[in-house]
Each structure stands twice: as C-alpha cells, then as structure tokens.
Structure 1
Amino acid sequence: MNNSFVELHARQRALALLDAGTTRELIDPFTDMISPHLEPQNIVPESDDGVVIMKGQLAGKAAVVIAIEGAFQGGGIGEVSGAKIVAALEHALADNQAGNTIYPVLILDTGGVRLQEANYGLLSISEIQNVIIALKQFVPVIGLVPGRVGSFGGMSITNALLSYVIGTNRARIGLNGPEVIEQEAGVQEFDSSDKDLIWNTLGTTERQATGIIDEVVADDVTAFKQAIIAAIDEKKDSHRDQQVDLYLSLLDQLDPSQPLDIAGYRDLYHQVKVTEHHLAASKSSAVAGTKSRGRLWFEQLTGIKNAQSEVATVLHAQADGREYIAIVPDAQNRFPRVREGEVGLLEGYTVASVVNDLIKADQAKANKTPLVLIVDVPSQAYGYKEELIGIHMALASSVSAYARARQAGHKVVAFIPGDAVSGGFLAHGLQSNRLIALDDLAITIQAMSKASAARITQRTIEELEEATKHVPAMAYDIKNYQKLGALYQLVPGVKGYDDDPKAIATIQAVIAEALASLDDVPADMSFRYTNSIAKQSGRVATNQVRQLMDEQWNG
C-alpha cells in the first residue's frame, strides 16, 4: 500500500503526521543518547533508544508526536526511552499550563517493559502514566496503535489512560501476551499457537466492539491524520479509566466458573445493567483470611483482626487519619486467577472505586486524607477471560485513581512488605510519592517471572540470572532495586511476617516520617530520580535525558 502507515517506522510515522517543513526532532540519533544497560548484556543499542520525539504542527496546531519503534527490542520501554517520553510529556504539560496549547500524540508499537531493563521500564511507565493523567485536564492525549507489535504489557495500561485511541485492523491490544499467559497458566488457558483465537480476542474488531479502542481506520496516513484532527477539534475523551461502575456491574453479572466466548462477552457488555458500587470499610471477624504478608500488615497497621471485606481480595479502612488499602489473596475466590493475591479485574476496579470515593469525600477539604498502600502483589492475573474483558483497563482505573488522588493533594505512600511484580505493582504501588520496603530477601520486585522473562527474551533461566549480575534493574531482589534510587527508605531489621510490637512500631514510625516528608513538596514522583542514589548511579541516564530535553524543547 503506497500510503501505508503501518509499514512506516517510528521516525517516518512522526514525519508523515506533522505538517511538512514544521518538524524538529528532540534528542535525535546524533545526540547518541543510548541505553547504558544493553551493551553489558551483549545487545546492540540504538542511538535513539527506540523512541522518536518530534515537535511540529498538525493541521496548523502545535503538536508533539512520540513514536515508539516496534522493530527495536519489541518497542520495549527502558530507562532512556522512558525518560524521553516522560520529559517530553512534562514539557507539553508545562506549556499547556502556561496557556501555550500543544497536542501530544503517542504512537504505540510496544510490548511494554523492556525486560533487559525491567525495573527501569516499570518505573518509567508509571511516570508516563502520571503525566498523561495530568495532561488530560488540558488537552486530549491521542493514542495510535497502527499494528506490527500492537500495545501490550504496562503500555496497554497506558493505552487505556489515553483520551482517544485510533488503530487499524492489523493491531492488537492486551495486557498479557498469549505466550506469557500460556507460560504462567498453561496452554489450556490460552493456546499461543492459535492465531485465530488471538486475533479474534485481542484484535481491533473485538476491541472496538467492547469499548477498548475508539476508532479503527484504514491503513492510510491520510486516514490517521484526519482521525487525529477530528479527535483534537472535538476534544474527544472516552474516559476509559473512569468506567468503574460499568465494569463492577458487569463482573457482578459474570459467572467466572462458566465458559466465556467472544460472542457471549459482547452480549454481556452491551446488556449490562449499571449500578453504583461503594465498598464499605473492612471489619474484624472471627475467621482468619488467607495468609499473606499484605494481609498481616494491613491488620497490624489498622488494628483490625481477621479483616473481612465485601470484596474478599480488597481490604481498606481508615486508622490514625490515614486510608490503608491492601490487595490480598483469597484461596476460595470465584476468580481462580487471583487466589494467590494477583491483581485482577475485580481488584483493579474495586481499588479505583475506593480511591475515587475518597477523592470525592475530601474534595472540599484543605487537608486531604493520606493514602497508605500495602503492597504484596505477585503479579497481575493471567487468564483468558481477563484478557477478553480487558484487564489492562481495570489496572488503568486503579492507576488513574491513585494518580488523580496524589495530584489532588492526597499524600500517597506505598509500603512493600511482600512481592511487587509487573502490572500488579503498576496498579497498586507505583503511583506513590514515596516507596518504602522491608530489607527482606524474601521480597520479589520485578516486571515478570523468571520463566516468562526467559521465554520472551529467548534466554535460559541461567542466562537470565547471569545477566542480572551486570544490570541491577533486571534483578529480582530488593537490594538491587534500592540501587535504582526508587525507594525512599529500605527498612532494616523487619521481615515480611514479623508481628512483634517493636516491628509494628518501627513501620508506623517510618510511614509517619515518609508522610511528613511530603509537606510542602510537589505532588509528583520526582524523588525517584532526584535523590542522591538516583543522581549518583541509579538514574544517571534519566537525568541526562531530562537535561537534554530542557535544553532542546524550545529550540
């Protein structure tokens, strides 16, 4: 096709969208801002790290196009590529706040986190999501999913946060790729060799029919430009991240023990009767819930014994003037893929409902209720039904709620006594102002299980473990995570299952100090790259990118 948009590469796509003669690329290949983390793994880097940032005009309006190159590392987000996106979006936000309107357009051709820089990818994606949510208060943030790779992983959550999403019939959208689901849950859950099933489930025909993508256009540059211009002119916003009652009502009417096919889900989606949902605070009970570090610390910090909730996997309550929230396992849960504490459909939307209610209740208050997130999430849920319904949108709803709470003035602190993995961590933890973790080697913190990461990167587990020795961002332990500069505090002397008064008092004091540190500081996540560890070693490349963007944004 002579005017194909799909067949273009990232730089060509950006040039094709913007008006001829108006374009200027920022941090271009001649800047040579490459990832410092790939060559130690014997991977050849790219001089633009797979992301093109181009300013110009779109039908005469100021615009910035952010294009991800799917041909480089599957469009995975690493430290440099992520920092380029964040810095560009932050400048667009500042311009809009100053009354200088500029429209951001994101071209998503991405598998999500770049597993060779796993924890950098997760941090970057959470920071991208934060700025998108802030930007949407001023202008529509338009997303394009042309094809090739599609939009997967943590960037599918980002996709669900965008105002308006346009794609072709060659695109797919989903949180977990079929190979990952097959690895984690078995071939009977999702057969990654069944191409028809994959396209029928994740392709844009189904995604448009069930509200996951807004518009499907022909694979044509002009068609994309026209759709973008119309979305900007009409200020289109589907508010996908705030459809909480719709999906909680849908899940009420779903029997997960029964098979669910594509036609059955379409019928359910279009016939659902929407009711309001508000989760009451957790209460004490006589029966202990399924054991976990997250549950233990929720009960110890709130004083609620054997905490029970109408949604068994989501605990929340106020204590000491703070709102505590935990996602916990439930061995008998009707959704089998969340029985070990994974974040699934119900968890994402329920957490969003709780936080949205808090935002509304505190809207007129000068002093907002602080949020304390207790993080012990082994991953997101891996299941066919979850992908068909769109688990990435459930997680996006939680991300959005936490980010909007923080941006509205709620202090948000995440305390990590357990695992913090993948989309589960993005949905519950990574939108915090402050991250606190126990110095406990039993904690796993990463973007994907070792088995799945090895399969996707075509390595053995032994080769993967060897690579982690050279790149701390690939490691699975909390000690290496601290080296990135992401943690506000790593707490020594307390373990995940400690329950003595001294341990509890220690954590209460650390949380109180973290909250106090947020007095009179910006409601953003800049601490992660401005603290001493980050500046000296953990986020050096991030800070270099940010400085370059500062120098180049206005020419």
Structure 2
Amino acid sequence: MKNSFVELNGRQRAFALVDENSGRELVGPEYDMISPHLEPQNIVPESDDGVILVKGKLNGKDVVVISIEGKFQGGGIGEVSGAKIVAALEEALDDNKNGKTIYPIIILDTGGVRLQEANYGLLSISEIQNAVIALKKYVPVIGLVPGRVGSFGGMSITSAVLSYLITTQKARIALNGPEVIEQEAGVREFDSSDKDLIWDTLGTRQRVKTGIADELVEDDVETIRTAISAAIDQKKDAHRTDQADFYLTLLDKIDFSKPLTTDEYRKIFSETKAEKHEIPVTVASDTPGDKSRGRLWFEKLTGIKNAKSEYPTVLAAEVDGKEYIAIVPDKHNRFPRVRNGEVGLQEGFVISKIVNKIVDEDKDKEVKRPIILIVDVPSQAYGYKEELIGIHISLASSAAAYAKARQAGHPVIDFIPGDAVSGGFLAHGLQSNRMIALADKSITIQAMSKASAARITQRTIAELEEATKHVPAMAYDIFNYEKLGALYKLVHDVSSWDANDDAVKEVHDLIDEAIASTKDQPTDLHFRYETPIAMASGRKATIKMREMVDDQWDK
C-alpha cells in the first residue's frame, strides 16, 4: 500500500500530485481559519476546515490542487471551506485571463453540503460551480474521485461540470446517498444495507461505463499523476452538461413504471444516439394544472392561464422581453419521483436546452434577455433509476446553462414564492444574479429535509431544531436565510398564495428593479458578498478567507 493514493490524507494527496519540492500550501492550518459555525453546535472544528490548497507544478506545468479531506465532517462543504475553494478557483481564473496559465485540479472526497452549515454549503457550492464554468473557457478543470468517501450531493453536481473526471475503483459517485434515498423514498426504492446494490449502481466501474466518469485508474500515486497530466496536455473535456439531446433521447427509451437493472441500462446507454428535441412551448389551456405556488406565480407573472407545456413539469415563456421559467408538479408524470415539483432527470436537461437557446439567440445583441426563475422546488428527485442514470448530470446541465447565461450578460433573477431545497435549488435558482423572496413562514429553504438531515448527522430532529437556534444557516425559514446576506430583497407584504393584482405588480416592479441593478455590474456572484448584511455578519468568514487566499496567492 506504500504507493496508494486513497490511503493518503487530504494534505498528503495534494502534495503527492505536485512535483517534488514545488508545492506551497495556502492558508494552511497555522492560520487557524476554523468554521465559526461548528463550536456553537459542540462540534470540534478543524484548523484548515477540511480543505487543502497547494500551488505547485505537475510535470513542469503550474497547477493549483484543491483537496477535500473526507475524514473531516465527511468532506462536507461549509462557509469557510467553500470560500477557500472559490477563492482559489477565482485566483486561477484571474491568472488565466491575464495570460498566466495555471491548471486547477480538484480532489473530491466529499458528501456534498456540510449539513451543520446547510445553506452556507449550498451557496458555496453554487459559487464553486460558477467559477469552474468560467475557468473552462481557458483551461481544463480536472477532477479526481479517489475514495473512500467518494463524491455525493452538490459536489457531484460540481463533478459533472468539470472538464474531465478520473476515479479509482474504491470510490462512488452519486447525487443522493443510499441512506437519504431510503429515508425520502423508502427501503423498497433503495435498500441502504445492500452493499452489492450500492456498488453496482454508484461504483465507479459502472460510472465509467455510462459516461458519468471518464477514466478508471489504479490506486497508485504515479498512475494518477500520469492520468491527470495527460488530461491537461490533451485538454480533455467530456462536455457532460452539453448532452441534453442525448439524455432526453435515452429517457424516452426507458419505462419508469418497470424495474431497470444496471445491465439493462448499460445496454440502452450504449445503443442510444442523440435525437434533436424541440424547445417546449408553453401555452394556455382549458385544463388547470396541479396547484403549486410556482405555477400560480408563473401564470400571474406571464398572464398565461392554465399554462401547459410538452414537458408538463417545465413551464417557460417569453413575455415583455423577459424569459420566465418554472418547475411545477404533475401528479400523473411518467417519472414518479417528480410528481410533487421536484427537479429530476428530464427537468434539468429541458431547462438547459431552453436557456442555451436564449444565449445562442442573443449572443450578438448588446442587450441580453433577462431570465426570471420562479423557484418552488421541494428538492431534487430521490430514486434508484435517477441515481443509476445520473440525476446530478441533469441538475448540472441546468445550473451550467444559467451560469453561462449570466456570464454572457443575461440578468438571471430569482423570484422565490415557494420552497428552495437542496439540489433542486442548485439546479434552479442558485446561479442567479439576484434573489427576491417572499417573507412567508410557509417557505422552506435548506439543503435537506429534517428527517434526512437528522439521520445523516446522527441527531434527533429535536436536537437538529435546537441547533438551528444558534446557526442561522441550518434553519429552514426564509427569515434566517436573510441573515446570510444573499438576498436582494425580502418582500414582507406579499404572501406565497396571495397573487392578487397589487402583489403581482409589486413583484414585477421588484424584478425590473433587480434587472436594472445588474447593469454595468460584474456577471459573477460577488453581489452576495457585498450586501450590507453579508459584509456585517452573513459572509464575514467568507470575506476573510477570500482576502487571505488573495494575499498569499503570489507570494
């Protein structure tokens, strides 16, 4: 095992990838940049918050290695660790823009969002994804999933936007972990005690065969170095999030009312050839759709009564020069796991086609169309077939499309009249320039349901609720979310279900105001760090970490 990469800790992994004596760590443990959100929950923090940054050379090329320590809080991403990753990626972006080539390498050994800092984790992961997408215009961003934790949650969505993903056979890749699927959908959907099922579905041998990862290598330091170096030299890019037509064609071939084995799926995958899918048109109908806050506000803001689309869970329409997009429930949908408005396999790919078409149509226009996201998503879809096929690629396709649109100059504005939860929010909401939310107690905004969060963090629901009193990022309500500083406006005089004429006018006016506020502003996500709440308290640790990485980057 002396040459095993998997057996190394996060810091050893980072230094193992760079040429001997070339590595320099940034904001190492001696700076004691701990998370301020763990000790109030009686959790011992880590002096580097579980992320190691090392600048050095790989076969003579400048690289920055971002290594997530899976042994600390399951490799979960919180405020400080997330800010550390984002800061390093943005420094690399600035260098590449200025003609100084440096290649980012991300070692993923992570469960995704750190549930003890839930909403900070979601914000940070969306910001990581934004930086990766911007960097890919200049250099490939290489990912490595060695194990033992693997790659789960929002960081698996991130893995799908990376240029190239290398794995060992000791890792797993998925959006939802087996225990979460079992908690949310039942043991008949996914038995978390069935290890053979888990590895056959989520293991990297299966993932490479079905395009979720790109290369399976031996657990050997030099072999991994060689694979990463080759990916950099050959500028490899899987373009995973640009394959909406392929996946929509594949989904057309699968009967979601019947069982599906891994062997059957591999056969369907290998035989599928992409067919062009038309962009869905939303029209008025005589038949009302399933009731939801997202549907209510989409219909009120667009003026389309009983809105209906070829893909019934995705509504999109251009009105007065703005594109409105909503995800809504459909109780008779052929995908059972999205019948309550969840974001699933089809939704992410359809949205990516809609948004990418807008970007393409407006590429030569001086003024870009605003894109208005109406957010009412109770979560991502939890299901065996969703994980087997790779739901995280669908969500990444949507997130990447929104990020590309914003980076191309399109104002991307959230209006949140309903729930904004977990991967659903990452896919449909968190890549926006501005977020407007209603101050309504019925809105849930979080990284995971209370039952699943309690199970994963090994707490009772009562203990979880007690922790939210001390850490606003763990709370489930929009009022605590406001304390993080990410919102553009919290609307206090309009309720979720009260879309009367005055309320609709007020929301329209706020959307127009938000669009105007983006004029001549950066097309990134820095606004979240610059609000008065963010600077005073909500993102203080984020701002400090960014300053420290910037200060040490060129020393």
Determine if the TM-score, normalized by the shorter chain, exceeds 0.5.
yes
* 1:179-223 C-alpha deviation (Å, 9 max, x unpaired): 000000000000000000000100011000000010010000000
Which residue in 1 is equivalent to 2:14?
Answer: 14
* 1:325-365 C-alpha deviation (Å, 9 max, x unpaired): 00000011010100000000000111111111111111111
What amino acid sits opposite 1:44 in the alignment? V
Asked if 1:202 corresponds to 2:202, the answer is yes
- Which has the higher mean CA deviation after the structures are superposed, 251-260 or 531-540? 251-260
Which residue in 2 is equivalent to 1:320?
Answer: 320
Q: Which runs of 5+ in 1 are unaligned?
A: none
Which residue in 2 is equivalent to 1:39?
Answer: 39
- Within-5 A mapping of 1:103-252: 103-252=103-252
* 1:448-496 C-alpha deviation (Å, 9 max, x unpaired): 0000000000000000000000000000000000000010000111111
* 1:105-131 C-alpha deviation (Å, 9 max, x unpaired): 000000000000000000000000000
Which residue in 1 is equivalent to 2:489?
Answer: 489
Aligned-partner Cα distance in 1 for 2:269–2:148: 28
Q: Secondary structure at the match of 1:175?
A: coil
How far does residue 375 in structure 1 lie from its aligned partner after superposition? 0.2
How far does residue 175 in structure 1 lie from its aligned partner after superposition? 0.1
- Within-5 A mapping of 1:10-409: 10-409=10-409
- Within-5 A mapping of 1:535-550: 535-550=535-550
What amino acid sits opposite 2:197 in the alignment? L
Q: Secondary structure at the match of 2:284?
A: coil
Q: Secondary structure at the match of 2:8?
A: coil
The answer to whether the 8 A contact 1:373-1:414 is kept is yes
What amino acid sits opposite 1:14 in the alignment? A
What amino acid sits opposite 2:269 in the alignment? Y
What amino acid sits opposite 2:174 in the alignment? G
Q: Which runs of 5+ in 2 are unaligned?
A: none
Which residue in 2 is equivalent to 1:430?
Answer: 430
The answer to whether the 8 A contact 1:278-1:354 is kept is no
Aligned-partner Cα distance in 2 for 1:136–1:224: 21
Aligned-partner Cα distance in 2 for 1:280–1:153: 29
How far does residue 499 in structure 1 lie from its aligned partner after superposition? 2.3
How far does residue 281 in structure 1 lie from its aligned partner after superposition? 2.3
Q: Secondary structure at the match of 1:174?
A: coil
- Within-5 A mapping of 1:451-490: 451-490=451-490
- Within-5 A mapping of 1:414-429: 414-429=414-429
Aligned-partner Cα distance in 1 for 2:214–2:273: 22
The answer to whether the 8 A contact 2:280-2:311 is kept is no
Aligned-partner Cα distance in 2 for 1:286–1:512: 30
Q: Secondary structure at the match of 1:143?
A: strand
Moved over 4 A (4+): none
Aligned-partner Cα distance in 2 for 1:529–1:380: 27
How far does residue 280 in structure 1 lie from its aligned partner after superposition? 3.0
What amino acid sits opposite 2:375 in the alignment? V
Aligned-partner Cα distance in 2 for 1:550–1:514: 30
How far does residue 55 in structure 1 lie from its aligned partner after superposition? 0.3
TM-score by length of 1: 1.00
How far does residue 253 in structure 1 lie from its aligned partner after superposition? 1.5
Aligned-partner Cα distance in 1 for 2:112–2:326: 25
Q: Secondary structure at the match of 1:151?
A: coil
Q: Secondary structure at the match of 2:257?
A: coil
* 1:246-299 C-alpha deviation (Å, 9 max, x unpaired): 001111121111111101100110111321112232000000000000000000
Q: Secondary structure at the match of 2:355?
A: helix
Q: Secondary structure at the match of 1:318?
A: strand
Aligned-partner Cα distance in 1 for 2:31–2:273: 54
How far does residue 502 in structure 1 lie from its aligned partner after superposition? 0.6
Aligned-partner Cα distance in 1 for 2:219–2:172: 14
The answer to whether the 8 A contact 1:411-1:518 is kept is yes
Aligned-partner Cα distance in 1 for 2:256–2:407: 36
Q: Secondary structure at the match of 2:56?
A: strand
Aligned-partner Cα distance in 2 for 1:325–1:421: 17
What amino acid sits opposite 1:298 in the alignment? F
What amino acid sits opposite 2:438 in the alignment? L
How far does residue 416 in structure 1 lie from its aligned partner after superposition? 0.2
The answer to whether the 8 A contact 1:278-1:357 is kept is no
Aligned-partner Cα distance in 2 for 1:303–1:273: 38
The answer to whether the 8 A contact 1:10-1:68 is kept is yes
What amino acid sits opposite 2:216 in the alignment? V
Aligned-partner Cα distance in 1 for 2:273–2:14: 42
Aligned-partner Cα distance in 2 for 1:500–1:158: 39
How far does residue 226 in structure 1 lie from its aligned partner after superposition? 0.3
How far does residue 2 in structure 1 lie from its aligned partner after superposition? 1.1
Aligned-partner Cα distance in 2 for 1:159–1:332: 32
What amino acid sits opposite 2:223 in the alignment? A
- Which has the higher mean CA deviation after the structures are superposed, 277-286 or 113-122? 277-286
Aligned-partner Cα distance in 1 for 2:434–2:507: 14
How far does residue 61 in structure 1 lie from its aligned partner after superposition? 0.5
* 1:29-82 C-alpha deviation (Å, 9 max, x unpaired): 001110000000000000000000000111101000000000000000000000
